[in-house]
Amino acid sequence: MDQSSLIKIRNYGALKYEPEQICKILGLSSEDSQRFLVEFQDEDSEIRKFYDQGVLFGDYNIDAELTKQSEKGDIMAIIQLQERQEKTKISRLKKELFGI
């Protein structure tokens, strides 16, 4: 994939689009979609690395905005940030303990 496509994939990752959706948005042929999906399964592939980076950027942006709102005393933002942090902690523990 060229650099501009990888950047698009990172942006779609930030929005947590599914790999099949990304194939459609990029207008990939059936054959190219199959290659994309196979490569996406490899966590060391460029496609997957850019996608995962996008997911992290998206989460960071949400958390940063919630933090700003929390610092202003927004109760809903505080609650949402705490829920997101708890969910992240649970996900990390599941991965550490059970590999899922």
pLDDT of residue 99: 87
pLDDT of residue 68: 98
47 close to 9: Cβ distance less than 8 angstroms: yes
pLDDT reported for residue 93: 94
Residue with tokens 């708890």: 86
Q: What is the pLDDT of residue 100?
A: 82
Q: What is the DSSP string of 5-30?
A: HHHHHHHHHHTT--HHHHHHHHT--H
* pLDDT averaged per 10 residues in sequence order, the chain, 100 residues: 95 98 97 98 97 97 97 97 96 91
- Which residues are within 8 A (CB) of 35 and not within 5 positions of it... i.e. 6 or more apart? none
